[in-house]
C-alpha cells in the first residue's frame, strides 16, 4: 500500500442519502444452505471493459455483464460522453463511433471512482480528456498519481485544476507516444488505464511492475479482440505495440472471482455444501488455499464447477497483497468466517489504509477481534449473536450478511447501497439457496426500525 493519509474529503460517514440507502436486510441465522449458485460476470472486469469500448470507433458487444449499480453508473458516464448503449439480457452493445465530448461529468465520476479509467481511452482516441479526480471513499484516499505519471510518460500534458484532471496530448499528430513505464505499486486501475492508452499510441509501451489481476488479463483479451497488440497481461510486465485504430469485437466477461469467493465463504460459515458455477479455479488460488487451510474441502466437478464441503473451522493467518497474493476484496468476508473458527488468526490489510471498519460491526455481533494498526487479531468464538449492524463499504456489507447467516437470532444489515453496488442480487441468490432473509425498504408509513 502506498503511504496515503485519508483525505479530508473522504466520505467516512457514509450517511445514507435516500430511501434506497436506508434499505435493510433482515437475516435469521442458523439456517443451512443447499444447492447450486450461478456466478455472475466480474464487476471489476465489466467496469474496465466498458471504459475500453471507448477505444473502438465501431460498435462492440460485451456479454455476461453483471446486473449491479456500478455497471449502471458506468453506463451513465459513457452516455454522457456520447457512447450509445443498448442492453438486452446480459449483453451490452456499446457504440463509441461518435463521442460528443471528452469531459466526464463530475456528479457521475464522483459516484463511481472506476469511471476515472475513461481517461486513458479518451486521451488515446481524441488526444484530450477532462476527467474529475474520483476522490476518496470509505476504504481510503484512492489517489491516481500512478495513472497521471504514466500518461505523462506516454506524452500527455497533465495538470489538475479545481479537482479536474486536464490531459492533452502534446505534438502535432495528437497521438500518444509509446514509453517504458515502471509502476511504483502494481495498481490495477493504473495498469488498466495505461494499457488502454498505449493500444493507440505511436510505438511500443512497456509497463513494468504491472498489476497481474485476472481482470487486467480480461481487459487485455478484450482489447486484443478489437485488434490491439498486447502481450504479457496477467504478468508483471505488459508490452503494447500501438496500432492506428481498433475494430469491433463481441466479448464475454470472465466470472466474478470475488463473488465466487464470497459464496465459498457462505458455504463454510453456514456449514453447508454448495456448488458454484461458472468459476475459473485458477483465479481463486489464494482463496481456495486459505479455505482448505481452514478445514473446508473443495472439489472440482467440471472445468468451471466447484463443490464446497464444510468441515470443522480452524483459524489461519491472512495478509492481503496484490495478485497473485490474497485479495483485499476477500478480506472482510474471511474475517467473518474466522470470527467463528477454532483458535486465533491474524488478518493484515496491506492494500488499502482504511479497510478494517467492519471489525467494529462484527464485534457488535459478539466477535472477539482486536485491532492493532493494519492488523486484526481474531479469536474464534463458538457463535455470533444477531444484531443491528451498518455496512461501511462494499465488501464489509457482504461480510456482515455472511455473519448474519451464522449468527444466533436476527441480524439487520443497513447500508445496502454498498452491497447493491458490487453484487448481482446477492440476497436473492442466498435466499434461493435456503437462507432466511428479506430486504426491507422503508416507506413513510413504515420506517425501518432497527
The residues annotated with a catalytic role in the active site are: 137
The pair phi, psi for residue 134, each rounded to 5°, is -70, -20
Closest to ligand EPZ by CB, 136 vs 380, is 136
For the bound state, the minimum distance from the C-beta of residue 116 to ligand EPZ, rounded and expressed in Å, comes to 8
User: What's 146-197 look like in SS3?
Assistant: HHHHHHHHCCEEEEEECCEEEEEECCCCCCCECCEEECCCCCHHHHHHHHHH
Could you tell me which residues come within 8 angstroms of residue 2 by beta carbon, excluding any fewer than 6 positions away? Answer: 143, 184, 185
* Lookup: cell for 346: 491474524
For position 328 contacting ligand EPZ by CB under 6 A, the verdict is yes
Interface residue with ligand EPZ, options 219, 367, 394, 399 (CB under 6 A) = 394
The pair phi, psi for residue 180, each rounded to 5°, is -100, 120
Closest residue to ligand EPZ, judged by C-beta, is 189
For position 189 contacting ligand EPZ by CB under 6 A, the verdict is yes
For position 27 contacting ligand EPZ by CB under 6 A, the verdict is no
Q: Any idea what the Cα angle at residue 100 is, between residues 98 and 105, rounded to 5°? A: 135
Q: Which residues of 373-390 are buried (b: 16+ CB within 10 A; e: fewer)?
A: ebebebbbeeebebbbbb
Interface residue with ligand EPZ, options 395, 414, 418, 429 (CB under 6 A) = 395
For the bound state, the minimum distance from the C-beta of residue 332 to ligand EPZ, rounded and expressed in Å, comes to 9
Residues in 99-138 that interact with ligand EPZ by CB under 6 A: 114
The site that binds ligand EPZ (CB under 6 A) totals a number of residues, namely 29
For the bound state, the minimum distance from the C-beta of residue 134 to ligand EPZ, rounded and expressed in Å, comes to 8
* Lookup: cell for 108: 457521475
For position 1 contacting ligand EPZ by CB under 6 A, the verdict is yes
Rounded to the nearest angstrom, the gap between the alpha carbon of residue 67 and the centroid of all alpha carbons in its chain is: 14
For position 287 contacting ligand EPZ by CB under 6 A, the verdict is no
* Lookup: cell for 265: 465463504
Interface residue with ligand EPZ, options 62, 190, 266, 400 (CB under 6 A) = 190
Q: x-or-dash pattern for ligand EPZ, window 419-438, by CB under 6 A? A: ---x----------------
For position 257 contacting ligand EPZ by CB under 6 A, the verdict is no
For the bound state, the minimum distance from the C-beta of residue 286 to ligand EPZ, rounded and expressed in Å, comes to 12
Look at residue 367 and give its three-state secondary structure.
coil
From the CB of residue 77, how many other CB atoms can be counted at a distance below 10 Å?
24
Sole window of 76-84, 160-168, 210-218, 263-271 interacting with ligand EPZ (rule: CB under 6 A): 210-218
* Lookup: cell for 418: 454498498
For position 47 contacting ligand EPZ by CB under 6 A, the verdict is yes
Sole window of 92-100, 208-216, 384-392, 423-431 interacting with ligand EPZ (rule: CB under 6 A): 208-216
Look at residue 95 and give its three-state secondary structure.
strand
Q: Of 131, 110, 113, which is closest to residue 122 (Cα–Cα)?
A: 131
For the bound state, the minimum distance from the C-beta of residue 30 to ligand EPZ, rounded and expressed in Å, comes to 28
For position 143 contacting ligand EPZ by CB under 6 A, the verdict is yes
Contact positions toward ligand EPZ, by CB under 6 A? 1-2, 4, 43-44, 47, 114, 140, 142-147, 185, 187-190, 211, 213, 215, 328-329, 351-352, 394-395, 422
Amino acid at each position: 500500500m502506498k503511504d496515503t493519509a485519508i483525505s479530508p474529503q473522504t466520505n467516512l460517514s457514509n450517511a445514507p442519502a435516500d430511501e434506497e440507502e436506508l434499505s435493510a436486510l433482515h437475516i435469521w441465522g442458523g439456517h443451512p444452505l443447499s444447492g447450486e449458485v450461478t456466478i455472475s460476470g466480474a464487476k471489476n472486469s465489466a467496469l474496465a471493459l466498458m471504459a475500453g469500448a471507448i477505444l473502438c470507433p465501431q460498435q462492440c458487444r460485451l456479454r455476461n455483464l453483471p446486473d449491479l449499480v456500478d455497471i449502471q453508473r458506468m453506463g451513465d458516464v459513457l452516455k454522457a460522453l456520447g457512447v450509445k448503449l443498448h442492453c438486452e439480457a446480459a449483453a451490452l452493445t456499446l457504440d463509441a463511433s461518435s463521442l460528443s465530448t471528452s469531459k466526464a461529468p463530475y456528479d457521475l465520476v464522483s459516484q463511481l471512482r472506476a469511471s476515472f479509467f475513461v481517461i486513458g481511452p479518451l486521451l488515446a482516441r481524441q488526444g484530450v480528456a477532462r476527467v474529475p479526480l474520483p476522490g476518496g471513499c470509505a476504504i481510503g484516499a484512492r489517489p491516481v498519481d500512478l495513472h497521471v505519471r504514466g500518461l505523462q510518460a506516454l506524452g500527455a500534458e497533465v495538470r489538475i485544476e479545481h479537482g479536474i484532471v486536464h490531459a492533452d496530448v502534446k505534438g502535432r499528430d495528437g497521438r500518444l507516444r509509446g514509453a517504458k513505464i515502471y509502476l511504483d505499486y502494481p495498481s490495477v486501475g493504473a495498469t488498466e488505464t495505461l494499457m488502454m492508452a498505449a493500444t493507440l499510441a505511436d510505438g511500443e509501451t512497456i509497463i513494468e511492475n504491472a498489476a497481474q489481476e485476472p481482470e487486467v488479463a480480461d481487459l487485455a483479451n478484450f482489447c486484443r479482440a478489437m485488434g490491439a497488440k498486447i502481450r504479457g497481461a496477467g504478468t508483471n510486465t505488459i508490452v503494447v505495440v500501438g496500432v492506428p485504430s481498433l475494430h469491433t469485437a463481441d466479448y464475454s466477461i470472465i466470472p466474478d472471482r470475488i463473488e465466487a469467493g464470497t459464496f465459498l465463504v457462505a458455504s463454510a460459515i453456514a456449514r453447508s455444501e454448495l456448488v458454484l458455477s461458472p468459476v475459473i479455479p485458477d483465479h481463486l488460488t489464494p482463496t481456495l488455499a486459505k479455505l482448505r487451510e481452514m478445514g473446508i474441502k473443495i472439489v472440482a466437478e467440471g472445468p468451471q464447477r466447484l463443490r464446497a464441503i464444510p468441515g470443522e473451522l480452524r483459524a489461519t493467518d491472512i495478509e492481503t497483497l496484490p495478485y497473485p497474493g490474497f485479495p483485499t476484496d476477500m478480506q472482510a468476508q474471511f474475517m467473518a468466517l474466522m470470527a467463528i473458527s477454532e483458535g486465533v488468526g491474524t488478518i493484515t490489510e496491506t492494500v488499502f489504509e482504511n479497510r478494517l471498519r467492519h471489525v467494529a460491526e462484527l464485534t457488535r455481533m459478539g466477535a472477539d477481534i482486536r485491532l492493532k494498526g493494519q492488523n486484526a487479531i481474531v479469536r474464534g468464538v463458538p457463535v455470533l449473536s444477531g444484531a443491528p449492524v451498518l455496512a461501511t463499504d462494499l465488501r464489509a456489507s457482504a461480510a456482515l450478511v455472511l455473519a448474519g447467516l451464522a449468527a444466533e437470532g436476527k441480524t439487520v444489515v443497513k447500508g445496502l447501497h454498498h452491497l447493491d453496488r458490487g453484487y448481482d442480487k446477492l440476497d436473492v441468490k442466498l435466499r434461493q439457496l435456503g437462507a432466511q432473509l428479506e430486504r426491507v425498504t422503508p416507506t413513510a408509513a413504515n420506517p425501518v426500525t432497527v
